[in-house]
Structure 1
Amino acid sequence: MRLAFIGGGVMGEAMVRCILSKGVTNSEDIVVSDIAPQRRKVLAEKYNVRVTDANPTAVDDADVVVLAVKPQELNKVVAELRGLLAGQLVLSIVAGVSLDSLRHGLHYGRLARAMPNMPAQIGEGITVWTAASDVTETQKGAIKSILGAMGEEIYVDNEKYIDMATALSGSGPAYVFLIVEALVDAGVHIGLPRQLSEKLVIKTVLGSARAVELTGKHPAELKNMVTSPGGTTAEGLLELEKGGIRSLLSQAVIAAYEKARSLAGK
């Protein structure tokens, strides 16, 4: 499978790294187009992939074209690629850009859209994706292989779920990092050495997430298993509820979703 990456930034590089480490394709079958000479140099040296600063050259013999540029750079890329695509799959990971917008700009129909999240950079991500009706089953299989190299992938048949996933799993790691940071600082505040506090919080978050995943129990049931009547956990939970933690998290997701919709012009 021959891949062309338009954009060699953080997520583009992460995709290249994961694809190569999982053996999805070989380095000689990957070309990365990037406007920055230093990025091209780094990518060529680290991954032994072909590099170019010419987008039309990159897509010429590709089976899959991955759009991994910033939203503000997309119009220029689309204008350069318009009329050059003939059967290739175009997979966009550009935030807030709908399939209709891509179809209108490229005058082309074999399009897919995905929303990977930050943990995808270490192969532990979750990516929600969808595809236009023109995309073949073989091409859908290629998408699953590419996105699966970064963690788990979930296909949705309605594009509206992509903007929702952007707000939840796309932005979600930042919410989790904030909670982790706050818990670590709280541990330091009560007297724990910072390194020990970090270790305790990280393992607590990882273990708790795994418990939800592996037991199949509702989070409320697991929470109740930890909470003894009149105990320390009950006291801590009371303070969180008094502070409106549920409402704040809901408001954060809703605000991020509305922002995603506005970026998509909805």
Structure 2
Amino acid sequence: MRAFKWGVLGGGQMGYAIKSGAVKAGVIRGSDVIVSDPVFEKESYEAKWKSFGAKCKEDNKEVIENAKFILLSVKPQILPEIANELSKLQEDQTVISVIAGQKLDKLESLCGKAKVVRVMVNTACSIGHGAAALCANEAVTKEDFQEIQELFNATNGAVDILPEKGFDAFTALSGSGIAYVYMMAEAMADAGVHGGLSRDYATKVAVQTILGAAQMAAQTEKHPAVLKDAVTSPGGCTMAGVRTLEKLGYRSSIIEAIIATQERCQNF
């Protein structure tokens, strides 16, 4: 019996978003979480995780020895540095990797005797509105997989079991795509400021516009093109803007950004 149910290797934004979101949702207790991060500045790292009751350590060894489920949330380039520690994992442990571009067979070779689940999620899981995809190796039991799935169900608006071959595309579309939406919100707010609105108000309106558009698409289940056409009158203001965006390669730039992200995932 391990002393902690949930361990985290890597105390950065993603690991924190997942575990803090799960604690807020009530599916895990903060006192059941142990986290290690030798890199982060100690005071800010500990204050963040201790805010919901997690046990903080600077040594990965304590997490590896004491947790049943271990969330592997480090940068891909860190994996070689902790390979020796990961090799000590045992068959009663399950690693949940949220590292982009790291396939199950690679993770299996690093994680000793542990079972392995691969997950991709975005940071909106910290407020219960993320999107997640999961896949597992054959050693993962049905019971353990269900428990992991419940964790992500509680912190995401959409959770899918996805064949591993789709993970790089999902990472690019959702895991990284959320950053591109933030860039759009920032650009829209800049335009509002240019038009004379205050920065705070322009940002508020930009965010609400994106939120409303997303809710319309989700609730009506209409194709985005149909929803766009509903607000694009012949010869109107919106059409003038659509024409400008098309001239500047708006849709093409989004497609190319997501393809470039996917290709980067494939080359880790």
1:162 to 158, 167, 179: 167
1:215 aligns with 2:191: no
1:188 aligns with 2:197: no
Deviates more, 1:223-232 or 1:106-115: 106-115
Q: Distance in 1 between matches of 2:49 and 2:244?
A: 52
Tell me what 1:50 maps to: 55
Q: Distance in 1 between matches of 2:118 and 2:263?
A: 19
Q: Distance in 1 between matches of 2:47 and 2:7?
A: 17
Q: Is the 2:90–2:114 Cα contact (8 Å) retained in structure 1?
A: no
Q: Distance in 2 between matches of 1:252 and 1:84?
A: 37
Tell me what 2:88 maps to: 83
Tell me what 1:34 maps to: 37
1:130 aligns with 2:125: no
1:96 is paired with a residue of what secondary structure? coil
* Within-5 A mapping of 1:56-135: 56-108=61-113, 110-135=115-140
Tell me what 2:7 maps to: 4
Q: Distance in 1 between matches of 2:46 and 2:227?
A: 50
Q: Is the 1:2–1:25 Cα contact (8 Å) retained in structure 2?
A: no
Provide the identity percentage: 36
Deviates more, 1:108-117 or 1:231-240: 108-117
Q: Is the 1:109–1:132 Cα contact (8 Å) retained in structure 2?
A: no
Deviates more, 1:149-158 or 1:204-213: 149-158
Q: Distance in 1 between matches of 2:219 and 2:49?
A: 40
Q: Distance in 1 between matches of 2:158 and 2:96?
A: 14
Q: Is the 2:152–2:159 Cα contact (8 Å) retained in structure 1?
A: no
Count of paired positions:
263
Q: Distance in 2 between matches of 1:221 and 1:85?
A: 52
1:189: how far off?
1.7
2:163 is paired with a residue of what secondary structure? coil
Q: Is the 1:27–1:48 Cα contact (8 Å) retained in structure 2?
A: yes
Give every structure 1 segment of 4 or more consecutive aligned residues whose post-TM-superposition deviation is greater than 6 Å: none
1:47 is paired with a residue of what secondary structure? coil
Aligned-pair Cα RMSD in Å: 1.9
TM-score (norm 1): 0.91
2:82 is paired with a residue of what secondary structure? helix
Gaps of 5+ in 2: none
Tell me what 1:257 maps to: 262
Q: Is the 1:123–1:149 Cα contact (8 Å) retained in structure 2?
A: yes
1:16 to 2, 14, 19: 19
